A and B are shown apart, each in its own frame.
Chain A
């Protein structure tokens, strides 16, 4: 055996040496990262954000998801914008002054001079007309976002008065028009650039613009490796200049694993991270990390299918009222949102104008199982169905609670709701499905009972919340196809929408709400807080519920 072992040993040693060499090279890559515990600012001119979703497109004319609008907001500019956490004041961006005619139909914008796109082209009124018309002509085939402009504009609305003046004549005197302008759909693109790269084709996306943005904003796209990172570099031509303190580079990363994002935040590799509500305790109290909830306009609702063709019990508004009493709102806030949410009184969230037209801002329905049962009994739906010894109502019909698979907050709310329904004698089942399937149910087959949905602000006007939920299909609303309809409510909504008078709008919305809430098609669940824990060396950060991230304002330093 001896000769065999000696030569083998030599070969074995050689193999080990080679492996060791590779391992050493590998670990050399590690020393740069593992500097736990120091408070030295990592990457002082780069901001790193670790979130949960990758952008889908960088074309503002066809982008309707948060992950996409975030980089778009930094690459492109709009006519007017918000600053800081102020949602009530409009600040000049590409427009420096604006006026509106007495009939609220015609808006005139004076534009900023000496603005260049990052490719050096000049910004003029032509670009404004081109950008807005483009949205309407293209028709946002991927996202449908063009409805935002389409509700009060068409391709004849925008006219170029001169190089730095543009006029927009609305098709209807929409009261909230100005609040549409800060949204990404109204971002200004470079006409010459787009024309050279595919132009505008009705009903079709522009593949080039999806991944090759060209804007006037503070940042430009450096590279976008899908599923890994999206990197923005500073735009040296930016009209706002680079005096003062700003980050030069922004890295947007995403990971499905909460553990990854949390560790990156703890290491200082990430400056912001999305930490799910359930995991906040992992970062609260950690040295160097700030956890601060902000009030957002993101809401969670339970949609109810009121069509008789689907379920005759849910078609009865008394049943829906009873369901409103059967939801344990406070427990849901504690468990699904870890306490970081508040009750919702109606469609309009706290912080938006006209919030208190909704029962004075107080939720009308509270968790009261006794009341729920009383209402059901009074309506004639008694517990007369025996299933294995337990008595149920509705002749044992099951109420199905749908939500899109993977959403853990909705899952928790569904589980909580089901337990309460069991107690008042209503049989229910929880069904998680994919979004395309849920859409099919909702819009094609009408085969759904209730569905947990969420809604976020497109722009800062209560009409963005009231109309989709309380308006009916007759006025092109009823976004979730619940089948709810009331002519008076419709009239009131339209009245509020097309008026600029605060008192008129408040009265209209109050009247609408008072009727609606007695026959609700939605259960208004919660308004959740916005939390993105960040490193304490980040300065200049503030949360704006309508326009969330404004990287130009942030910088990294200890102050």
Chain B
């Protein structure tokens, strides 16, 4: 089938998936008996009429399936409820914190993908030599580490004991953020020509992005290595060598292209891991992103925020995988023609 048919079909499949996700989040948030109305109204000193009003607004006394339809309706209208922690709509909170997480994730991928691919290639070319073994050991340790522990250790070593990197935050204390165009400080700094904030933003990105990306780096490295090995042992490579093509051409034009296919898939799946890892990384590095907000919401039992975050992440993840699948289909025609 043609590419656009493929995309449309996948997009349509998105809908039942997302509905299913909302069912899960709704069920989860209504399992526990809690008193969100009273909590919103101020706790012990809340006035009864205020509690009543909020109960009506949130339809808390109606049967559960009615509540679900209000819930679904709200989501369609981009209303994710009110954050108890921040006293404002969840969409507002998520909207504010989203760019921070996006920037962190992008830089984590910028570290993980190139280094992972290059490392994988080197490892595959120098198979079973010392550099291969070292790279592989680093990689396998890389995704055996609990990400929050790695963050704590790096923070302790490089921001406290030998303080060469900042401890937390996106910018230096008291430094005004660059004028908001995208919310990504690096991009905004470049666009507004602000060297100070550009330097500070990059400086503060180093540790968190590295921590977040390390496990993905390891994964991509291994994936690239094994698919390179697989491809390099194949017939058409040998034919190429026999024909007298330079090694470089072989590696870059033929082997790499085919080896990258599974790597692309893995990257899409790893993206979900990045979103999850962002929760832990942002907490440790005091990064004002969605992940830290979600962690606080979980601890603060701010269910609306937790569920809103989950839905948003699900959407992002599904869309990201869709992009990956499309890329995959573009690179490898067999996928398209064979049908989803």
Whether A and B touch directly in their complex, counting CB atoms under 8 A apart, is answered as yes
On A, residues with C-beta under 8 Å from B are 1, 3-4, 7-8, 22-23, 25-30, 32-34, 36, 43, 46, 48, 54, 56-57, 64, 139-147, 203, 210, 223, 225-229, 231, 251, 253, 255-257, 259-260, 263-264, 269-270, 405-406, 433-437, 439-440, 442-445, 479-480
Q: Is the Cβ of B173 less than 8 Å from the Cβ of A48? A: yes
The reply to whether B163 and A439 form a contact with Cβ atoms under 8 Å apart is no
CB-CB < 8 A to B36: which residues of A?
Answer: 436
B299 at the interface (CB under 8 A from A): yes
Interface hub of B44, B173, B204 (most chain A Cβ within 10 A): B173
B38 adjacent to A443 (CB under 8 Å): yes
Whether B167 lies near A29 (C-beta < 8 A) is no
Which residues of the other chain, B, contact A139 by a CB distance below 8 angstroms? Answer: 47, 49-50
Complex interface: chain B residues within 8 A of A143 (CB): 42, 45
A436 & B87 in contact (Cβ 8 Å cutoff): no
Contacts of B33 in A (CB 8 A): 437, 440, 444-445
Interface-facing stretch out of B12-20, B61-69, B284-292, B318-326: B284-292
Residues of chain B with a CB closer than 8 A to A226's CB: 86, 93, 96, 288
**A-B contacts besides A140-B47, A223-B176, 5 pairs, CB < 8 Å:** A25-B198, A30-B164, A36-B163, A227-B288, A439-B38
Known A3-B246, A33-B172: A144·B43 in contact at CB below 8 Å: yes
Q: Is the CB–CB distance between A439 and B50 below 8 Å?
A: no
The answer to whether A227 touches B97 (Cβ under 8 A) is: yes
Contact with A26, one of B43, B84, B177, B199 (Cβ below 8 angstroms): B199
Q: How far is the CA of A142 from the CA of B41 in the complex (A)?
A: 5
Q: Within the assembled complex, what's the spacing in Å between the Cα atoms of A48 and B170?
A: 17
Q: Is the CB of A259 within 8 A of B248?
A: no
Contact A25–B248 (Cβ < 8 Å):
no
| Distance of A255 Cα from B166 Cα, bound (Å) | 14
Q: Cβ of B84: which chain A residues have Cβ within 8 Å of it?
A: 436
Q: Known contacts A4-B248, A30-B203, A43-B174; decide if A434 and B42 are in contact (CB<8 Å).
A: no
B258 at interface by CB-CB < 8 Å: no
Contacts of B40 in A (CB 8 A): 142
Q: Is there an interface contact between B39 and A257, defined as CB atoms closer than 8 Å?
A: no
Chain B residue at minimal CB-CB distance from A211: B88
Closest to B286 in A: A255
* A225 contact set on B, CB distance < 8 A: 177, 288
Partner of A257, one of B198, B284, B299: B284
Residue of B whose beta carbon sits closest to that of A34: B163
B131 to chain A, nearest CB (A): 14
**Nearest 5 pairs of A and B residues by beta carbon:** A434-B301, A29-B199, A144-B42, A440-B35, A26-B202
In the complex the two chains form, is A8's CB within 8 Å of B35's CB? no
**B247 close to chain A: CB less than 8 A:** yes
Considering only residues 275-301 of chain B, those with a C-beta below 8 Å from chain A are 283-284, 286, 288, 292-293, 296, 299-301
Tell me whether B160 is interfacial, beta carbon within 8 Å.
yes
The 19 listed contacts between A and B (C-beta, < 8 Å) are A4-B247, A23-B202, A25-B198, A26-B199, A26-B203, A29-B200, A29-B204, A34-B163, A46-B174, A64-B42, A144-B50, A227-B288, A228-B169, A257-B168, A257-B284, A257-B286, A270-B173, A437-B35, A443-B38
Q: Are B248 and A444 in contact (CB under 8 A)?
A: no
Q: Is the CB of A251 within 8 A of B174?
A: yes
Is B32 part of the binding interface, using a Cβ–Cβ cutoff of 8 Å? Answer: yes
- Give residues of chain B (151-165) contacting chain A, Cβ–Cβ below 8 Å: 155, 159-160, 163-165
Contact check, B301 vs A263: say whether CB atoms are below 8 A apart. Answer: no
**A48 pairs with B174, CB closer than 8 A:** yes
A260–chain B nearest beta-carbon distance, Å: 4
Residue B269 is within 8 A (CB to CB) of chain A in the complex? no
Would A29 and B203 count as touching, CB distance under 8 A?
A: yes
With A25-B198, A210-B87, A270-B173 known as contacts, the answer to whether A433 contacts B50 (CB < 8 A) is: no
Q: Does B266 contact A (CB under 8 A)?
A: no
Do A144 and B45 touch across chains, with their CB atoms under 8 A apart? Answer: yes
Q: Chain B residue with minimal CB distance to A481?
A: B44
Closest residue of chain B to A434 (Cβ to Cβ) is B301
Instruction: Give the distance in Å from the alpha carbon of A71 to the alpha carbon of B319 in the complex.
Output: 42
Chain B interface SS verdict (over half): helix
Instruction: Give B102 Cβ to nearest chain A Cβ, in Å.
Output: 16
Complex contacts, A227 vs chain B, CB 8 Å: 96-97, 288, 292-293
Any chain A CB within 8 A of the CB of B181?
no
Size of B's binding interface in residues, CB under 8 A: 68
Nearest B residue (CB) for A205: B87
Point out the residue from A57, A229, A405 that lies within 8 Å of B87, measured CB to CB. Answer: A57
Provided the pairs A4-B251, A260-B286 are in contact, do residues A56 and B45 lie with their beta carbons within 8 angstroms?
no
B206: interface (CB < 8 Å)? yes
Residues of A within 8 A of B38 (CB): 436, 439-440, 443-444
Q: Which residue of B lies closest to A19 (CB)?
A: B114
Cβ 8 A contact of A229, one of B93, B165, B174, B203: B174
B46 part of interface (Cβ distance < 8 Å): yes
A406 and B299 contact, CB distance less than 8 A: yes
Give the chain A neighbours of B41 by CB distance below 8 A. Answer: 141-142, 144
A480–B44 touching, CB < 8 Å: yes
B182 contacts A by Cβ under 8 Å? no
For residue B166, which residues in chain A have a CB less than 8 angstroms away from its CB?
Answer: 30, 33
| Structural contact, B42 and A140, CB atoms closer than 8 A | yes
The reply on B195 being an interface residue by CB < 8 A is yes
Complex alpha-carbon distance, A557 and B149, angstroms: 40
* B130 on the A face (CB < 8 A): no
Query: Measured between C-beta atoms, what is the minimum distance from B123 to chain A in Å?
Result: 15
Q: Judge if B3 is at the interface, Cβ distance under 8 Å.
A: no
Q: Is the CB of B87 within 8 A of A439?
A: no
Cα-based distance from A4 to B163 in the complex (angstroms)? 41
**Measured between alpha carbons, how far is A228 from B36 in the docked complex, in Å?**
26
**B127 interface residue per 8 A CB criterion:** no
Q: How far is the CA of A415 from the CA of B172 in the complex (A)?
A: 39
Q: Measured between alpha carbons, how far is A34 from B203 in the docked complex, in Å?
A: 13
Cross-chain contact B49 with A260 (CB below 8 angstroms): no
Cβ–Cβ contact B35 & A436, under 8 A: yes
* B27 interface hit (Cβ, 8 Å): no
**A255 and B301 within 8 A (CB):** no
The smallest C-beta distance from A297 to any residue of chain B, in angstroms, reads 17
- Shortest C-beta distance, A350 to chain B (Å), equals 24
B8 on the A face (CB < 8 A) = no
Q: Is the CB of A28 within 8 A of B50?
A: no
Task: Decide if B53 is an interface residue (CB 8 Å cutoff).
Answer: yes
The contact string, 1 if C-beta is below 8 Å from chain A, for chain B 197-216, is 01111111110000000000
Task: Find chain A residues with CB under 8 A from B76 CB.
Answer: none
Contact B199 A7 (CB under 8 A): no
B300: nearest residue on chain A (CB-CB)? A434
Given contacts A251-B173, A256-B283, A440-B33, contact A405 B299 (CB under 8 A): yes
A30–B38 Cα distance when bound, in Å, is 46
Are B177 and A443 in contact (CB-based, < 8 A)?
no
Interface centre among A27, A251, A259 (most CB of B within 10 A): A259
Q: Are A439 and B43 in contact (CB under 8 A)?
A: yes
Among residues of B, the one whose C-beta sits closest to the C-beta of A406 is B299
Question: B237-258 interface mask toward A, CB cutoff 8 Å, 1 = contact, 0 = none?
Answer: 0000000001110010000000
- Residues in A with CB closer than 8 Å to B35 are 436-437, 439-440, 443-444
Q: How far is the CB of A302 from chain B (nearest CB, A)?
A: 15
B196 CB within 8 Å of chain A: yes
**Whose C-beta in chain B lies nearest to the C-beta of A15?**
B114
List chain A residues, Cβ under 8 A from B293: 227
- Minimum distance in angstroms from B193 CB to a CB of chain A: 13
CB distance from B216 to the nearest CB of A (A): 18
Structural contact, A263 and B195, CB atoms closer than 8 A: no
Inter-chain CA distance A61–B52, complex, in Å, is 20
> A445 to chain B: which residues have CB within 8 Å?
33
Q: Determine the chain B residues whose CB is within 8 A of the CB of A436 once the complex forms.
A: 34-36, 38-39, 84, 301, 303
Kindly supply a per-residue 1/0 record for chain B positions 67-101, scoring 1 wherever the CB is within 8 Å of any chain A CB and 0 otherwise: 00000000000000000101110000100110000
In the complex, which residue of chain B has the Cβ closest to the Cβ of A43? B174
- State A142–B47 Cα separation when bound (angstroms): 10
Contact residues in B for A43 (Cβ distance below 8 Å): 174
Complex CA gap A255/B47 in Å reads 32
